[in-house]
Chain A
Amino acid sequence: MADFADQPYTGLGPRIAARDLVPSPGHAWSVWLRNARVFSKLWKGALLPQFLDPLFYLVALGFGLGTYVAKVNGIPYRDFIAPGLIASATMWSASFECTYNVYLRMNETRLYDAVLATPVEVQDIVAGDLLWSAARATVYGTVFLTIVAAFGLISSPWAILIPPLVFVGGLCFSVIGYTFTSLIPKIDLYSYFFTLGVTPMFLFSGIFFPFNQLPGWVEAVAWLMPLYHLVEITRGMANGPDGLQVLLHTAWLVAVSAALFTIPVRALRAKLVP
């Protein structure tokens, strides 16, 4: 990887006026469209392997290891992990988009400086990027849902609602990644984000083993992780829904997304419009 200059640390920045927090839908949409255009040019090439990533886990663990594992909660192991991998595909996509991709646009190519010289404002960039990242994550989640369905691992027609729910989860992962990106002064710090945040979440959010036979505190810790909630949602919908549970988990994801939104808006304004 090329050398990247450290950025001055500007932190959260001062409080800002309400008019600088509320995005304009039209201008956020223009940012969304720009990202979608770039993705449409790249996906067939550089991004294709990412679609296969969860498939390898499904084959190795579901069909490989799963052969030696008794049923989990009454269902075969591969049926157990498949919906969770839809959730993790979403998480990986959103996390990459809102970390490295946003960082490069913001600090290296200085694209946002050009965008901010138009009527687009900081909050429009953040909203457009987040909605794009969530949409992109939905594409990844939905592609994998189709693969899983083709393997016959989906038992409920309610799975048709997985894409919109995955969008909500993708949005939450995006806001978290974006918040981190907006606050860090150097690109190297993503190793902390991925090694200490995303990877453990992938392993310990209930994709690969259920919590119901572990001590209660394990699930309490998992409850703090957004991936846990999305896994519960996708598994719930793939195996027949428990409406209230799905609603609660969705509410958690929406609440965290909404609560964090102002942080990257403020931090980016402090960074880009000093």
Chain B
Amino acid sequence: MIGERGQGPAVLARGLEKSYGDRVAVDRIDFEVRPGVCFGFLGPNGAGKTTTMKMIYGLAGIGGGELRVLGMDAVRERRRIKARLGVVPQETNLDGELTVRENLMVHARYFGLDPAAVERRIEELLDFTILRDRAAESIWALSGGMKRRLLVARALVNNPELIVLDEPTTGLDPQARLAVWRALERLRARGVTLLLTTHYMEEAARLCDRLLIMDHGRIVAEGEPGALVRKHVGREVLELKLGEGCDADALLASLDGRLDGYELTEDALMLYADDAEDILRVLDHERFPTDSALVRGATLEDVFLRLTGRSLDE
């Protein structure tokens, strides 16, 4: 299952771009995914994550630039690339006319794998994704979480070196999400390269070795999760709910030099600093009344919101 470790990147993009009509979905991005890591793409809806994934797994043409997957050219060697990929798409597209086990068998055949030869592997995958009891059932009888797990099992039938997961846990309840995470963690432990997109910072922080944040088709930040937090937010956050008549600009001016940054939303002010307790202490509470104040550690969520904006711009 281990790919060409240490033999060049699993994915390499140089000036990669894609437009749909006038809309630029991916705007000349560069990135590199090393083999064996879990690499996460973060970004709001419409940032270009899904389009990037689709170019990697062959469901969107390459608009421009260069894309190499497992060392092969994504335009000319699509078939050979796809033979070594596993894909968990954003939308559930299981074969509704087949049972759970048949879905895996038929999918294996698309890879040219002999059903007799993959029989054992399919049984293993049913165990791996805790679907054995459901193997003979129709897809319609499965819950959302089971369908997601079956999508993961399906992505593994060809023993892929690289697995692309587009929002693998969106819409799942916490238990189902945990089950998918565990499956992904086991895969990562086996050395499979994982490439995933997500909206959930918790998911990114838990699973990913390296993250890339996209917005409006461009890459706005890249790095290890902890390093991203330290670089863009700092260590701690003081979250203030401003009281009546509190002048946010004056408040910020009064703390000049003590902050790593701030973020103002409609009803709250986030102050980023190495020691948020200290900020709370020096704040002039007479002049700047607050309804509530919370000191907490900085998270990826803060990085994400800081870099991609807090307002919904869809």
A interface residues, Cβ below 8 angstroms from B: 24, 26-27, 30-31, 33-34, 37-38, 41-42, 109-111, 113-121, 272-274
Contacts and interface: CB of A to CB of B under 8 A. Distances in A.
Contact of A110 (B93, B107, B111, B154): B93
Given A116-B59, A117-B82, A273-B58, A38 B98 contact: yes
B106 A34 contact: yes
B97 A118 contact: no
Interface stretch (B1-9, B83-91, B197-205, B206-214): B83-91
Contacts of B83: 118-119
- Of B80, B82, B97, B158, most buried by chain A (CB within 10 Å of CB) is B97
A111 B112 contact: no
Nearest to A29: B109
A41 to B, nearest CB: 7
A26 B111 CA distance: 9
B66 interface: no
Contacts of A115: 110
Contact of B58 (A27, A34, A116): A116
Nearest to A112: B93
A151 to B, nearest CB: 35
Interface of B: 20, 57-61, 78-80, 82-83, 85, 87, 89, 91, 93-98, 102, 106-107, 109-112, 154, 158
Contacts of B93: 109-111, 113-114
B87 A37 contact: no
B7 to A, nearest CB: 22
Contacts of A42: 97
Contacts of A33: 106, 109
Nearest to B88: A117
A245 B41 CA distance: 63
User: Which 7 A-B residue pairs are closest in the complex by CB-CB distance?
Assistant: A118-B110, A117-B87, A110-B93, A114-B93, A30-B109, A38-B97, A119-B83
Nearest to A110: B93
Contacts of A272: 59
A115 B91 CA distance: 13
B154 to A, nearest CB: 8
Nearest to A33: B109
A264 to B, nearest CB: 18
Contacts of B60: 273-274
Contacts of A113: 59, 89, 91, 93
Nearest to B158: A118
A144 to B, nearest CB: 25
A26 B110 CA distance: 9
B107 A118 contact: yes
15 contacts: A26-B112, A30-B109, A30-B110, A33-B106, A33-B109, A37-B98, A41-B97, A109-B96, A114-B94, A116-B59, A118-B107, A118-B110, A118-B111, A120-B110, A274-B60
